[in-house]
Amino acid sequence: MTDLTGKVAIVTGGATLIGAKVVEAFDAAGAKSTVADINVEDGEALAERMGDSVLFMNTDITDDGALDACIAETVERFGGIDIVVNVACTYLDNGIDSTRAEWLEALNTNVVGGAILVQKAMPHMQERGGGAVVNFASISGKIAQPGRMLYAVSKAAILGMTRNQAAALAPHKIRVNSVSPGWTWSNVIKQLSGDDRAKTDRVAAPLHMIGRAGDAEEVANAVLFLCSDQASFITGTDIAVDGGYTALGPEQQTDQIAILMG
Catalytic residues: 151
The span from the first CA to the last CA of the chain, in angstroms, equals 50
Question: Which residue type is seen at 116?
Answer: I
Over the range 234-261, which residues count as b (16 or more CB within 10 Å of their CB) and which as e? ebbebbbbbbbbbebeeeeeeeeeeeee
Chain Cα centroid distance, residue 135: 5
Measured at the alpha carbon of residue 162, what is the angle toward residues 136 and 80, in degrees to the nearest 5? Answer: 80
Q: What are phi and psi of 84, to 5 degrees?
A: -125, 130
Element (H, E) at 175: strand 174-181
Contacts of 103 (CB under 8 A, 6+ apart): 150
Measured CA to CA, the distance from residue 142 to residue 131 in angstroms comes to: 27
Find out whether 27 and 33 touch, Cβ atoms under 8 Å. Answer: yes
Cα-based angle 173, 174, 178 (whole degrees, multiple of 5): 145
